[in-house]
Structure 1
Amino acid sequence: MLELRNVSTVYGTIPMLMDVTINVGKGEAVCLLGANGAGKTTVLKTIISMVSPVSGEVHFNGRRIDTLPSHKVIESGIAIVPEREGLFPRMTVADNLLMGAYYEADKKKIKARLAEVLAIFPRLGERYHRKAGTLSGGERKMLGIGRALLADPQVMLMDEPSLGLAPALVNEVYEVIGRIKREKNLAILLVEQNAQKALAVVERGYVLQKGGIILKGSTAELQADKIVQESYLSAGA
């Protein structure tokens, strides 16, 4: 469904991604692990055409999309939950959610999607008319995910959903991700440093280091790999 084929990118003259190949199948959850500065967010920005490859291609549903503007990529069925959620703090929870349905003209579909999201996130219903800037960190994560779901995407890109959250909230957010995967049958590309949580909800994964893929495999294969164990799964990781 989603495929990066030998993608390389630069920021100015600095190489960021080098010959990166990643694929995500229909309904499949895949993680991309890596430390800060490895290039994980650049992968997501390249998928949604915020960064253009200097070589390689990005394909979605058999169509090349790295030549499209970002809004056309989003409109084609890819939603992103950015690392910092990208919310509008002075707008209400309701208005932030509805921004996710920007490209949908059918009001009945929007109403149905909104009901589904509020069923997944009842706390957002409780705070429906509050300003997004007044929400807690965990609530902001939920709002970011909920807004992406309003777009009814085929693929969801999630950038560091555990970042900055207390352990209890990380567990809550990952319970939601697992539920979305089960109930919505979405394809998910999950970018994370928290390998333990990410590997608990995905089928496969990749490890990105200094802009290049150094490992790939099933969840079990990555969990058993010494590099992953020492760098991402150990107590001090």
Structure 2
Amino acid sequence: MLELRQVSTKYGQIPMLMQVSIKIDQGEAVCMLGANGAGKTTLLKTIIGMVKPVSGEVLFRGQRIDLWPSYKIIRSGIAIVPEREGLFPKLTVENNLLMGAYYEKDKSRIASRLEEVLTIFPRLKERLRQKAGTLSGGERKMLGIARALLADPQVLLMDEPSLGLAPATVNEVFAVIDRIKKEKKIAILLVEQNAQKALSVVERGYVLQKGTIILEGSTKELQENSIVKESYLSATS
């Protein structure tokens, strides 16, 4: 579904990603673990065309997309939930949700998607007329995820969904991610520092360090790996 082949990027003259190769199959949930500054967000920006590779290729459904503009990549079926959600605080929850279906012109499809998404996020249904800027941190995170689902994506990219949330809210967010994985059957790339939570909802994962993939494996393999235990799991247990 989504593949990066030997992708390298730079910010100016500073290398950010170095020959990164990953694969995500249809319906598969994969995590990308790494500390701050490892290049995780750069990886997501590269997938959606905000950062262009200096070498390598990004493929979606076997088609090269790294030369496409961002809007075309998003229209093709890739949605992103950015770290800071990117909401419109003065617009209502409903209007923020509908922005996710911006490229869909069929009103009946939009209505059907909205109804489906609100079954996953009942709290948002109670707040449809409320301004997004008045929501709690957890509710804003839910709204960001829900808006991405309104685009009916085939690949969902998520950047640090646990960032800045209280532990109870983190549990709630990851329960939603697990439900999306099981019900929507879409490919998910979850970028996250909280290794314990990330590995609880994915089948496979990668570890990114200073722009380079240093580990990859199944959930069990990563949970049992000494580097992951020492550097990531001990910090989130």
Gaps of 5+ in 1: none
* Count of matched residue pairs: 237
The residue matched to 1:142 in structure 2 has which SS?
helix
1:191–1:235 distance in 2 versus 1, CA, 3 Å = closer
Q: Which residue of 2 aligns with 1:180?
A: 180
Partner SS state of residue 234, structure 1: helix
What residue in structure 1 maps to residue 110 of structure 2? Answer: 110
Report the equivalent of 1:80. Answer: 80
For 2:30, give the aligned amino acid.
Answer: V
* Cα root mean square deviation, aligned: 0.8
Structure 1 residue identity aligned to 2:180: I
- Supply the AA of the counterpart residue of 1:93: V
Q: Take 1:192 and 1:151, find their aligned partners in 2: how far apart are those partners? A: 22
Aligned equivalent of 2:23: 23
Q: Superposition pairs for residues 29-178 of structure 1, below 5 Å?
A: 29-178=29-178
TM-score by length of 1: 0.99
- Using the TM superposition, give the Cα deviation of residue 236 of structure 1 relative to its aligned residue in structure 2, in angstroms: 6.6
Matched residues, percent identical?
A: 77
Distance in 1 of aligned mates of 2:186 and 2:160: 18
Secondary structure of the residue aligned to 2:66 is coil
Q: Offset of 1:12 from its aligned partner?
A: 0.5
Mark the runs of 5 or more structure 2 residues left unpaired by the alignment.
Answer: none
Q: Is the 8 A contact 2:34 2:207 kept in 1?
A: yes
Regions of 4+ moved over 4 Å: none
Q: Distance in 1 between matches of 2:86 and 2:48?
A: 15
CA drift of 1:92 comes to 0.6
For 2:126, the aligned partner's letter is E
How far did 1:183 drift?
A: 0.5
Is 1:4 aligned to residue 35 of structure 2? Answer: no
